[in-house]
Amino acid sequence: MAALGIHKDFLMEFARLEKPVQKRVHEVFDKFQEHRHAGLHLEKLERARDPRIRTIRINQSMRGVVLAPESGDSFLLLKVMRHDDAIDWAVKHRATVNSATQGIELRNDVALERATAGVQALASAAPGDAAPLFAHVSDKDLTRLGIDAELLPLIRHLSDEAHLDASHKVLPEQQYDVLAGLAAGMEPEDVWREVVLVQLEQVSPPTSPQLTIASNGDAPTPSAGQDGLSAAMARSQGRIALVSGSDELTEILSRPFDAWRVFLHPSQRKVAYRPSYKGPARVIGGPGTGKTVVALHRAFHLARQLPADAPDESILLTTFTRDLAADLRGNLELLIPDAQMRAKIRVVNVDALANQIVREDRGAPLAIVTRQKEITARWERIARQLGVDFTGVFLDQEWRHVILAQDLRSPEAYLKASRSGRGTPLGPLKRAQVWRAIEAFTKELRQAGEWTFLQVCAEAARILEEQGGERPYRHVVIDEAQDLHPTQWRLLRALVAPGPDDLFLAGDTYQRIYGNKVSLRSLGISVTGRSTRLRINYRTTQEILTWSTALLTGERIDDMDGGDESLTGYRSAFHGAPPQTQGSSSKTEELAGLVAQIEDWTRVEVSPHEIGVAVRYIQLGKDIAHALEQAGVPATVLGAAPGTGDGVRVGTMHRMKGLEFRCMAVAGVNDGVVPMRGAITAEEVDPQQHREDLLAELSLLFVACTRARDALRVSWHGDPSPFLNMVAAL
């Protein structure tokens, strides 16, 4: 049986080709099963380091590079390039099999030899005092992790991480992954488990999306009878997609930019396509590590596992906001072209779902009080009327973080409740006063027929619990889990019966921006032993990641499960320019500099819609959009009154959550604005809440900065935000 593999690089290069050339590439490889027998015109090259690497004519100027062994029926599309570049690439490269994972790796022999000679010459000319980067790892361990003897002379001379990064291009990718893990401080045993074993475990995956994208059928698994190349291709998931036929080739090539549909990293695939979890499971990881991608694939996997008679919308895929839910819906369409299969998954944000449950129960629409300012003002008025000495902010926080969070329904329950997480102790008398204020506040809402969002969630959970019986969903998949309030968790818990594959969560507590802290265990959701961390960032360059991570260094962040989170070991798959920081003396000057930068970006072929601008408050965003429009650059303010929807996307930092942009500017990062003075509880009111609020503001800046793919610019006018002190030394 002929097998065709597509290397990730091939798809990336294909994506950048003009449409007619793409069409031609498609024609050349379409019906590859028949062609192979008829003999694809694969040309051998003289002087090639690897005689199995051949080229094929696409058109006058472009050639494909293909790995095609002498015997056997399989071939692998490696590159598609301009004629001379393709020949040059093809003669210098060699395909080998990694000794640990048995997957295919590619190496540029010529560059590798040159780099090795270079470091050796340098080391003998100027021997340094410092220990080499991998002095602590034995040859035996390196070999066990798949580092081959040929590479050791180079690796043993690497002096630091920057040196390793500089060698990235000449190292075979799997071996680089191993070395990057060791350089980040991981023990060889951890690298074995997280980098090598995940790959080995997938030698015979039960099913994989790359094989089922078009057919949704089961994947052929490599067997001993197939030739070595096809087995090695199957062991290279994450880099090579196996294609089962012409339809599947068409499907993959139809959306080449969306590589996440096809190429999951083994660590992502392992989580998403695990046949079953005994109970709630979750994926964690820093920004851009593909948590949303994994959540989408998990939903797909669960949909495929449903029994044939399962009704539509048996699975819920949910998240925090309506905008994020809309993004998930769009991406699900890309991942699952089959509309019938897609119909098994309902995508809706938690609040909208809660609203629907309560609305249907009452038979009437609900009036929701959405504006936080109005809610605080009501608390202030009630405190005055009752003559109690609490601020509106304090009462609102006590209601949300203690009473609603623990679902306290009586003054007795509140009197006994733990208030851990709150910084001001409250004796019985004070608690009685708070309870009176809460009764007055909720009574007023009830009489006006009004609700807050959290009340709606609490009510929806209560309705489901009281109904008992069958739960509305078989599986619930949750993205941006770090921001959900305990009330929302109680609703999610009530939506699905406890059992295998009930809940699947994706989240990152470093990105918590709404101050909703939870302990999953206390909510009856135990993920112990079913939590996996992703470490490779696919969005942001290493330079932007290092800079942004420094903002949060030293902060203690919980992991929602009784432990602490850590940012160690994260790394990016790309490199680029370091972030720029720019201070100005006035707002006018800052805006002029920002507009000039955006104009520069658009001059180097970045489309306006690939540029994002994040600000802490919307008015500044409107001013920036206005300044851009005046300079002739189209701009849209996200979430504002309907505009054209084109151009540079300008929005609040909150609104940027979950989005990404090729070039990102974070503007107005001034003292007093970031953190926003009004959003921070005074230390005298509640010292613990004060710290939590500061942390949420810091996370907000972190979220905004990590939306950048290639370029990040952070600017301010007047005094810079004190948060920037943490990165000033970088």
Report in angstroms how near the CB of residue 341 gets to ligand ATP at its nearest: 21
- The SS3 of residue 539 is strand
Pick the piece of the chain touching ligand ATP (CB under 6 A) from 83-91, 285-293, 311-319, 487-495: 285-293
Counting contacts by CB under 6 A, is residue 265 touching ligand ATP? Answer: yes
- The SS3 of residue 206 is coil
Q: What is the dihedral of CA 411, 417, 420, 425, to 10 degrees?
A: 50
Report in angstroms how near the CB of residue 664 gets to ligand ATP at its nearest: 12
Report in angstroms how near the CB of residue 507 gets to ligand ATP at its nearest: 8
Between residues 627 and 714, which has the closer beta carbon with respect to ligand ATP?
A: 714
Between residues 483 and 623, which has the closer beta carbon with respect to ligand ATP?
A: 483
Pick from 36, 38, 37, 90: which is nearest to 63 by CA? 90
Residue 153 assigned as binding residue: no
Pick the piece of the chain touching ligand ATP (CB under 6 A) from 47-55, 286-294, 341-349, 365-373: 286-294
Pick the piece of the chain touching ligand ATP (CB under 6 A) from 284-292, 348-356, 616-624, 717-725: 284-292
State CA 355 to chain mean position distance: 28
Figure out which of the listed residues 29, 192, 451, 538 binds ligand ATP, where binding follows CB under 6 A.
538
Figure out which of the listed residues 396, 508, 686, 710 binds ligand ATP, where binding follows CB under 6 A.
508
* Cα separation values, 486 from 142, 349, 482, Å: 46, 15, 11
CA geometry: angle 483, 516, 415, nearest 5 deg? 155
Residue 290 assigned as binding residue: yes
CA geometry: angle 450, 452, 458, nearest 5 deg? 110
DSSP-assigned letters across all residues of 474-489: SEEEESSGGG--HHHH
Report in angstroms how near the CB of residue 290 gets to ligand ATP at its nearest: 3
How many residues of this chain bind ligand ATP (CB under 6 A)?
A: 21
Figure out which of the listed residues 660, 676, 680, 718 binds ligand ATP, where binding follows CB under 6 A.
660
Report the alpha-carbon distance of residue 376 to residue 359 in Å, rounded: 25
307-310 long-range CB contacts below 8 Å, 24 or more apart?
310/344, 310/474
Report the alpha-carbon distance of residue 516 to residue 641 in Å, rounded: 29
DSSP-assigned letters across all residues of 654-694: GGGTT--EEEEEE---BTTTTTTGGGS--TTT-HHHHHHHH
Tokens, residue 4: 């065709």
Q: Which residues of 582-618 are buried (b: 16+ CB within 10 A; e: fewer)?
A: bbbeebeebbebbbebbeebbeeebebbbbbbbbbeb
Between residues 104 and 335, which has the closer beta carbon with respect to ligand ATP?
A: 335
Report in angstroms how near the CB of residue 684 gets to ligand ATP at its nearest: 35
Residue 285 assigned as binding residue: yes
What residues does 496 pair with on adjacent strands?
Answer: 473
Pick the piece of the chain touching ligand ATP (CB under 6 A) from 169-177, 211-219, 255-263, 440-448: 255-263
For residue 675, say if its preceding peptide bond is cis, omega within 30 degrees of 0: yes
Figure out which of the listed residues 293, 440, 496, 701 binds ligand ATP, where binding follows CB under 6 A.
293
Residue 416 assigned as binding residue: no
Figure out which of the listed residues 658, 668, 675, 720 binds ligand ATP, where binding follows CB under 6 A.
658
Q: What is the dihedral of CA 520, 524, 527, 528, to 10 degrees?
A: 100
Counting contacts by CB under 6 A, is residue 539 touching ligand ATP? Answer: yes
What amino acid occupies position 364?
A: A
Pick the piece of the chain touching ligand ATP (CB under 6 A) from 191-199, 280-288, 488-496, 589-597: 280-288
Instruction: List the strands of the sheet with 53-57, edge to edge.
Output: 53-57, 62-67, 74-82, 3-7, 240-243
Report the alpha-carbon distance of residue 490 to residue 464 in Å, rounded: 10
Report the alpha-carbon distance of residue 331 to residue 293 in Å, rounded: 9
Residue 468 assigned as binding residue: no
Instruction: List the strands of the sheet with 281-285, edge to edge.
Output: 345-347, 315-318, 475-478, 503-507, 281-285, 531-534
CA geometry: angle 348, 353, 358, nearest 5 deg? 165
Pick the piece of the chain touching ligand ATP (CB under 6 A) from 108-116, 213-221, 283-291, 421-429: 283-291
Pick the piece of the chain touching ligand ATP (CB under 6 A) from 72-80, 262-270, 364-372, 714-722: 262-270
Between residues 213 and 620, which has the closer beta carbon with respect to ligand ATP?
A: 213
First to last CA, the chain: 55
Counting contacts by CB under 6 A, is residue 531 touching ligand ATP? Answer: no
Counting contacts by CB under 6 A, is residue 610 touching ligand ATP? Answer: no
Report in angstroms how near the CB of residue 508 gets to ligand ATP at its nearest: 5
Cβ 204 vs Cβ 218: under 8 Å:
no
Figure out which of the listed residues 181, 290, 593, 720 binds ligand ATP, where binding follows CB under 6 A.
290
Report in angstroms how near the CB of residue 537 gets to ligand ATP at its nearest: 8
Residue 289 assigned as binding residue: yes
Considering only residues 689 through 728, tell me which ones interact with ligand ATP, judged by CB under 6 A: 706
Between residues 239 and 431, which has the closer beta carbon with respect to ligand ATP?
A: 239
Between residues 283 and 382, which has the closer beta carbon with respect to ligand ATP?
A: 283
Between residues 285 and 675, which has the closer beta carbon with respect to ligand ATP?
A: 285
Counting contacts by CB under 6 A, is residue 504 touching ligand ATP? Answer: no
Largest alpha-carbon pair distance within the chain?
92
What residues does 571 pair with on adjacent strands?
Answer: 536
Pick the piece of the chain touching ligand ATP (CB under 6 A) from 168-176, 204-212, 291-299, 451-459: 291-299
Tokens, residue 64: 């494909």
Counting contacts by CB under 6 A, is residue 197 touching ligand ATP? Answer: no
Between residues 298 and 431, which has the closer beta carbon with respect to ligand ATP?
A: 298
Cβ 55 vs Cβ 42: under 8 Å:
yes
Between residues 116 and 572, which has the closer beta carbon with respect to ligand ATP?
A: 572
Counting contacts by CB under 6 A, is residue 259 touching ligand ATP? Answer: yes
Pick the piece of the chain touching ligand ATP (CB under 6 A) from 258-266, 361-369, 544-552, 714-722: 258-266
Cβ 378 vs Cβ 441: under 8 Å:
yes
Q: Which residues of 279-314 are buried (b: 16+ CB within 10 A; e: fewer)?
A: bbbbbbbbbbbbbbbbbbbbbbbbbbebeeeeeeeb
Figure out which of the listed residues 263, 379, 441, 473 binds ligand ATP, where binding follows CB under 6 A.
263
Counting contacts by CB under 6 A, is residue 292 touching ligand ATP? Answer: yes
Counting contacts by CB under 6 A, is residue 268 touching ligand ATP? Answer: yes
Figure out which of the listed residues 181, 205, 280, 285 binds ligand ATP, where binding follows CB under 6 A.
285
Counting contacts by CB under 6 A, is residue 213 touching ligand ATP? Answer: no
Between residues 259 and 676, which has the closer beta carbon with respect to ligand ATP?
A: 259
Report in angstroms how near the CB of residue 462 gets to ligand ATP at its nearest: 31
Report in angstroms how near the CB of residue 588 gets to ligand ATP at its nearest: 33
User: Binding site for ATP: what residues are annotated?
Assistant: 285-292
Which stretches of the chain bind ligand ATP, using CB under 6 A? 259-260, 263-265, 268, 285, 287-293, 508, 511, 538-539, 658, 660, 706
